[in-house]
Each structure stands twice: as structure tokens, then as C-alpha cells.
Amino acid sequence: MIDIPELLSSAERPVFSFEFFLPKASSDMDAFVACVRDLKSLGPDFITLTYGAGGTDRERTVEAAGRLQRDTGLATACHLTGIAHTRAEIAAILARLEGFGVRHVVALRGDPPKDGSARPAEERDFAHACDLVRFIRARGGMRMAVAAYPEKHPEAASAQADFDHFLRKAEAGADWAITQLFFDARDYFTFVRRARAAGCKLPIVPGIMPVTGYAQLKRFTGLCGATIPPELDERLAAVQHDAGAVASVGVEWATRQCRLLLEGGAPGIHFYTLNRSRSTTEILSRLRAG
């Protein structure tokens, strides 16, 4: 199985990866694995799986990560959030992942669970993502990605405060970073330049979400704080009731973004697939066609 940070640092070609989310129903797992298999034909180098923070979903996430890696042969990085967990619980989850052969995680603070199971702030073992990274690094055995925000985390007091927190995650022992979605390549390059100037050498992979729905885009960007460029917003608004036309605009915009990013030195592209294959397939086909 590949070592993802080593691949990112040494590959002489772009490294492509896909993010998936756990289906809500256990009965949908077979269809989900089939979707991942469909995208495997595109040759991703690795995949990531988002994390169900509460109870059953948490265990299903760990098991799904193991199944994906086993059944597809693709290195799988399992998202892991610390906000609702104790050190003992995180240690147990890591041991379970290792039992399935999973050796990569995406270490995140996470959002407070909707069921209210998050511990009070003053009692949390992992108040910030850097606390989780530090714990996993001290334990050993895992390679870790962390999140980067080219614009700003919506909860951060300022862009500088958010950037400083990113540096703390890097210093705590992260191996590589994956950015939140964004729609202007200049935001990525500005962030990378700041990171390098601050002495951070982590591979920073841009995260790209192909737009497949206008209302969905508005919801996502509202939650994560990403900006929709006026040109993209106008083009999507004009065709928002035509799903095919929205997807077409999304593919065109993302393909242009990816070309700019790769030409500018990005080590690869991480696609937020939303468990769909069509747009990602089209974008990769265009990139590989030149």
C-alpha cells in the first residue's frame, strides 16, 4: 500500500484523489462500494472517507474505510474528528483502523454532533485539530492529513488567526494538507506562498468540488465560507433550473481551475465527488487529454 505523503513529495506527475461520504443507510453500502469501483477506473492514487461522529455512524465509518481499502485496493484515508471523543476513544478508533489495515487519517476538529454528545469546551481532550494531530503523532503508526482554508474557516476570528492555526497543525506533526473547496486558483497560490514563507513544507493539495447543483453550491459555500466568483455565480444562476447545464458549467469551471493549479505547481487535485462519478470522470478525461 502506498505512503500518501511520500507519493505527494516524490511523484513526477499529478496525484489525484477522491473524497467520498458514508451513505446514510447500511443498505446502501453495496451501491456505494460499486460507485467507488466505478471511479477506480479513473486511476485515483488514494481516496478519503468522511467521518460519522456519533455512535453507530462512527463504527460504520471505520468499517467502511477498511472495506473500501480491502475491496478496491486503494489506499484509504479515514477522516477522524476529535471534538466528541476522549483520548481513550481516539486510541480505540485508531486501533480499529489499524486492524483493517488503514494507515492514513485526515485529522480534524470536527463539528459538534447534532445529538449534543460533544463534551463542554473546557472538558474536551481535543479542543482543536492540532491537539488531535499531536496525540496521533505521539502514538505513532499513522500518516495524517489536515485541513487548510485558502480563504478562512467560517469560525475563525480572522484570516491570520486561521492561518496561524494551520501552522500549529503542521508543527504538531501533520504529513500533508488538503484544502477546503474554493473556486479561484489565486486563493490557493496565495495560501501556499504564505505557508512557504512561514517555513511550512507540507504538500498542500487543492480540494476541488465540481458544481452539480446551484442550490447545493449556495448551501455548501454558506457553511464553509467559500466565495463564489461573480462570473461563476452569474453563469450558474442563468441555468440553475437545468441540471445538465449546471453540471456542464461546473465541469468547465473546475477543469479550468485544475489546469491553472497544476500548471502553477500544485502536487495534485483532491476531488470532492459527492459520491457521484460523472463530473469527476469528465474533468479528469479533459485534463488527461491535454
Residues annotated as catalytic (active site), given as ranges: 19
What whole-number distance in Å separates Cα of residue 225 and Cα of residue 244?
A: 26
Residues 6+ apart with CB under 8 A from 271: 16, 17, 18, 19, 207, 208, 209, 210, 280, 283
The β-bridge partners of 143 are: 104
**End-to-end CA, the chain:** 29
Residue 229's identity, in one-letter code, is P
Residues 6+ apart with CB under 8 A from 52: 22, 58, 60, 61
**Length of the chain, in residues:** 290
The three three-digit cell numbers of residue 178, written as one number: 488538503
What whole-number distance in Å separates Cα of residue 46 and Cα of residue 48?
A: 7
| Sheet with 104-108: strands ordered across | 204-205, 176-179, 143-148, 104-108, 75-81, 46-49, 15-20, 268-272, 207-208
Residues 6+ apart with CB under 8 A from 57: 22
Residue closest to 32 by CA, chosen among 5, 8, 61? 61
Q: Exposed, middle or buried, 25 (CB in 10 Å: 0-12/13-18/19+)?
A: exposed
Number of neighbouring beta carbons within 10 Å of residue 245: 14
